[in-house]
């Protein structure tokens, strides 16, 4: 059955981007636009100057959000209109219903400068109001690059988030969750973590992080991302990190989230660049298993031991990811039944000559010394807290000691190639500091690659999206933009030499 226009619109509205109250910009073009439409709103409302600053600040938030999505295929943003949607919390502030809804939104809609689809709530579904620029406002928004939009350094970066409800969606084959953010009391610990995040995000602000893939591959990547999550579209401005905890004691979770490099499929990670240099990803070899063995006084696993391997005929490297997920099921469920249901629903046994139950039992046998630690949901969250502290230590040490940014993907790190040995040393230090044992660093995926591989020297025109991002970065930080555009730097084969040289961009 063909999709109707109403169905297409409904699908678009479902994929809207949430309005973020912490988007800011120091670009003069953004400020000029705020002043222009502040005057338009005042004239339409016949208003005096008594509330100019309130209107200016809240209009600026709207403008920044509209600019941030102006190159996306889907340019809808969503924000509720009702009074409860404007409750001031540590996660939401800066907007009020009286000014933002009754003054700004209603006026711009009446002037045909905003499209608006009012939200609704039924027995089976609800949707908050959707907004999109139109007319001359849209034309003005389009003139500004989303690259000039950044995030307020004072925004809340330390979240406590719990799952209120979850279910398995058979249609998508994924677990759906409804999450809620909780308030908490600040402490010396939270202030320190927030201060560390400010340092990390400042370094992210100053660093160019690109993806060296052809323009045609960007389309393929976005299609792939939409299969994973209908709301996600690759946006290189989404590079600032938050730490998300699972309880207000800050003992569960705490991993770093919201960097775009964490969302792309693993096969694309080698083509990330940091300051226009090729990268490598270093990983702790079976970090969570090693931490559990440490709890039973086995402080070091033998080099030949792999936590995600089964001694069965036909086993190969492709099975390893599935076994890694099986192991996570053992430490993130309170009951065997729950672990088994997750293994079954994810289809983790499909590539093995074993039933889901047999697969689970085989994994338990491999890890007999720590089997008493399985089926304790708290354990998985506690391990995440430790691995997030390890990640924080590694990121800060690389910034403080080497002035180099590394990109976290939970318990692995992406680093420019000339810094790989320095990172390896820091990772070993971090594990020893937080776990008091030894662990292997997995370098099996380390491979020097050359961006010109398979290309002629003149084929850089195939990378216009990358070039555009690089030039915008140079312009923002007043760097020389007249140099010829070349492929990313690659560290030479002698990378094991200790005399590394940082390549500046």
Does residue 193 sit in the same domain as residue 141? no
Query: Is 172 within the bounds of a domain?
Result: no
Query: Is 301 within the bounds of a domain?
Result: no
Q: How far is CA 333 from the centre of its chain?
A: 25
Query: Is 264 within the bounds of a domain?
Result: yes
Does residue 282 sit in the same domain as residue 205? yes
Whole-prediction pTM value? Answer: 0.88
SS (H, E, C) 220-288: HHHHHHHHHCCCCCCCCCCCCCEEEECCCCCCCEEEEECCHHHCCCHHHHHHEEECCEEEEEEEECCHH
Query: Is 166 within the bounds of a domain?
Result: no
Query: Is 179 within the bounds of a domain?
Result: no
Does residue 55 sit in the same domain as residue 192? no
Query: Is 484 within the bounds of a domain?
Result: no
User: Residue 502: left if φ>0, alpha if ψ -120 to 50, beta else—which one?
Assistant: beta
Query: Is 504 within the bounds of a domain?
Result: no
Instruction: Render pLDDT for 196-243 as a digit per residue (tens, 0 to 9).
Output: 999 999 999 999 999 999 898 988 898 888 777 655 678 888 899 999
Residue 137 has pLDDT above 60, yes or no: yes
Does residue 219 sit in the same domain as residue 126? no
Q: Give the helix/strand (H/E) hosting 162.
A: strand 158-169
Does residue 44 sit in the same domain as residue 134? yes
Instruction: Render pLDDT for 118-135 as a digit per residue (tens, 0 to 9).
Output: 998 776 677 899 999 999
Does residue 279 sit in the same domain as residue 392? yes
Does residue 139 sit in the same domain as residue 217? no
The share of the chain scoring above pLDDT 70, in percent, equals 89
Does residue 9 sit in the same domain as residue 111? yes
How many structural domains is the chain composed of? 2
What tokens appear for 50 in the block?
Answer: 């008594």
Query: Is 435 within the bounds of a domain?
Result: yes
Does residue 99 sit in the same domain as residue 19? yes
**Secondary structure class of 116 (helix, strand, coil):** strand
Does residue 133 sit in the same domain as residue 242? no
In this prediction, residue 497 has a pLDDT band, given cuts at 50, 70 and 90, of: very low
Does residue 388 sit in the same domain as residue 463? yes
Give the highest mean pLDDT range of 3-7, 283-287, 499-503. 283-287
Q: Pick the last residue of a domain from 105, 126, 151.
A: 151
75 contacts: CB under 8 Å, gap ≥ 6: 66, 69, 132, 133
Does residue 263 sit in the same domain as residue 404? yes
- Evaluate whether 108 touches 114 at the Cβ level (below 8 Å): yes
In this prediction, residue 174 has a pLDDT band, given cuts at 50, 70 and 90, of: low
**Secondary structure class of 133 (helix, strand, coil):** strand
- Domain coverage including residue 397: 186-288+379-476
């Amino acid at each position: 059955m063909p999709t109707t226009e109403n169905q297409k619109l409904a699908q678009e509205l479902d994929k809207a981007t949430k309005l973020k109250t912490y988007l800011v910009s120091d670009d003069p073009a953004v400020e000029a636009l705020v002043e222009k439409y502040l005057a338009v709103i005042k004239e339409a409302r016949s208003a005096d100057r008594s509330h100019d600053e309130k209107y200016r600040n809240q209009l600026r938030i709207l403008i920044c959000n509209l600019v941030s999505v102006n190159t996306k295929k889907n340019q809808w943003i969503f924000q509720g209109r009702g009074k409860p949607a404007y409750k001031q919390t540590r996660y939401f502030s800066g907007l009020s219903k009286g000014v933002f809804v009754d003054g700004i939104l209603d006026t711009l809609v009446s002037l045909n400068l905003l499209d608006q689809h009012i939200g609704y709530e039924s027995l089976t579904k609800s949707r908050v109001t959707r907004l999109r620029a139109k007319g001359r406002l849209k034309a003005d928004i389009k003139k500004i690059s989303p690259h000039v939009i950044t995030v307020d350094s004072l925004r809340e970066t330390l979240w406590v988030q719990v799952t209120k409800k979850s279910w398995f969606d058979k249609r998508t084959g994924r677990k759906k969750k409804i999450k809620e953010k909780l308030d908490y009391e600040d402490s010396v610990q939270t202030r320190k973590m927030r201060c560390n995040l400010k340092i990390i995000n400042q370094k992210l602000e100053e660093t160019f992080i690109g993806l060296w893939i052809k323009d045609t591959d960007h389309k393929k990547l976005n299609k792939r991302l939409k299969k994973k999550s209908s709301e996600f579209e690759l946006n290189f401005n989404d590079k600032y990190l938050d730490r998300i905890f699972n309880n207000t004691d800050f003992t569960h979770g705490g991993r770093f989230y919201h960097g775009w490099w964490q969302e792309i499929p693993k096969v694309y990670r080698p083509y990330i660049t940091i300051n226009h240099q090729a990268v490598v990803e270093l990983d702790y070899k079976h970090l969570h298993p090693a931490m559990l063995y440490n709890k039973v006084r086995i402080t070091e696993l033998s080099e030949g031991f792999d936590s995600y391997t089964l001694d069965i005929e036909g086993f190969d490297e492709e099975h390893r990811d599935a076994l890694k997920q099986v192991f996570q099921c053992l430490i993130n469920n309170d009951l065997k039944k729950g672990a088994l249901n997750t293994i079954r629903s994810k289809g983790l046994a499909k590539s093995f000559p074993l039933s889901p139950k047999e697969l689970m039992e085989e994994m338990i046998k491999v890890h007999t010394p720590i089997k008493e630690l399985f089926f304790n949901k708290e354990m998985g969250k506690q391990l995440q807290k430790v691995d997030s502290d390890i990640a924080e230590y590694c990121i800060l040490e690389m910034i403080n000691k080497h002035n180099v940014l590394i990109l976290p993907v939970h318990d692995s790190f992406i680093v420019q190639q000339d810094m790989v040995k320095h990172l390896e040393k820091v990772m070993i230090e971090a594990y020893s500091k937080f776990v008091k044992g030894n662990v292997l660093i997995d370098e099996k995926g380390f491979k020097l690659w050359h961006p010109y591989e398979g290309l002629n020297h003149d084929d850089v025109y195939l990378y216009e999206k990358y070039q555009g991002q690089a030039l915008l970065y140079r312009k923002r930080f007043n760097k020389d933009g007249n140099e010829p555009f070349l492929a990313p730097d690659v560290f030479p084969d002698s990378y094991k030499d200790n005399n590394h040289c940082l390549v500046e961009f």
